[in-house]
Amino acid sequence: MSALRVAVAGASGRMGRMLIESVRGSADLVLGGALDIPGSPALGQDASAFLGSPCGVAITSDLRAGLAGCDVLIDFTRPEGTLAHLAVCRELGVRAVIGTTGFSEAQRAQIAEHAKAVGIVLAPNMSVGVNVVLKLLDLAARTLNEGYDIEVVEAHHRHKVDAPSGTALKMGEVLAQALGQELKDCAVYAREGITGERRAGSIGFATVRGGDIVGDHTVLFAGTGERVEIRHQATSRANFAQGALRAARFLAGRGPGLYGMDEVLGLR
């Protein structure tokens, strides 16, 4: 079987470079395209020159040129950019792995519409470890469903633009569903001043932004006389990249549809 041709969006960014390095280090994937925004100083440069090993793929802002001949796009950029990329992917029949966060409900509906034409893996976190943690949270919430207060605490680098993180929100969705609730009905995103006692059944969120923190997520179940914490700490973006490559391989044999990392990893 020929190597899977992968395009990477945001090619000059921190995550884009990690994805390019991971694709270049893979035995069964090849870099077929590299995209960046108009005006980026990286346009025209060899996508893997930063590795000291040019690949012959130039970074471009021309979506059709960058996606031509590719099998799958991996995109960890911004919601508006991702949706523009997906429209061209749909036109060209290119599958997509989406790790972008911060989508609105309306934007998620657009993604679902595109997935009727091409296979898309959409996940707020591609880390294998995080997706195992989501399964653990489901079990913990179903078991610790009485007498325990739940708090989700997340920390990321100073450059992250959305809060809470997409991973924290996904954790909240899993917790709420396990408790028979909708997250929108039980989430508490801010506390200030005289807040009164904690509302029973609520799920609290706290956000930290600073430095170069790759990503920390802790879920606290606080009961009477004991606390249970389930934590995931990312120390490198490499784990997100490897998860994205697994998702790309998963899509190679799939038709149109919207898939999650639980399906990619066989956790469903």
Q: Is the pLDDT of residue 1 over 70?
A: no
**Average predicted confidence (pLDDT) for the chain:** 96
Q: What is the pLDDT of residue 136?
A: 97
How does pLDDT run across 134-186, given as a tens digit for each residue?
A: 999 999 999 999 999 999 999 999 999 999 999 999 999 999 999 999 999 99
Q: What residues contact residue 116 under an 8 Å CB cut-off, 6+ apart?
A: 256
The percentage of the chain sitting over the pLDDT mark of 90, rounded to a whole number, equals 95
184 catalytic? Reply is no
Q: Is the pLDDT of residue 268 over 80?
A: no
Query: Quick check: helix, strand or coil at residue 198?
Result: coil
CB neighbours (10 Å) of residue 228?
Answer: 14
Q: What is the pLDDT of residue 267?
A: 86
Region 117-131: what's the mean pLDDT? 94
For 193-226, where are the E strands, in sequence order? 203-209, 215-222
Region 84-112: what's the mean pLDDT? 96
156 catalytic? Reply is yes
Q: For the chain, what are the domain ranges?
A: 4-122+237-264, 128-234
Q: Is the pLDDT of residue 2 over 90?
A: no
How does pLDDT run across 12-41, given as a tens digit for each residue?
A: 999 999 999 999 999 999 999 999 999 999
Class level of CATH domain 4-122+237-264: alpha beta
Triad 211, 175, 76: Cα angle to 5°: 45
The CATH homologous superfamily for domain 128-234 is Dihydrodipicolinate Reductase; domain 2 (3.30.360.10)
How does pLDDT run across 58-74, given as a tens digit for each residue?
A: 999 999 999 999 999 99
How does pLDDT run across 201-258, given as a tens digit for each residue?
A: 999 999 999 999 999 999 999 999 999 999 999 999 999 999 999 999 999 989 999 9
d(CA 263, CA 131): 10
Q: Which residue among the candidates 114, 156, 217, 232 is catalytic per the annotation?
A: 156
Of residues 1 and 116, more confidence is placed in 116
Confirm whether pTM is higher than 0.75.
yes
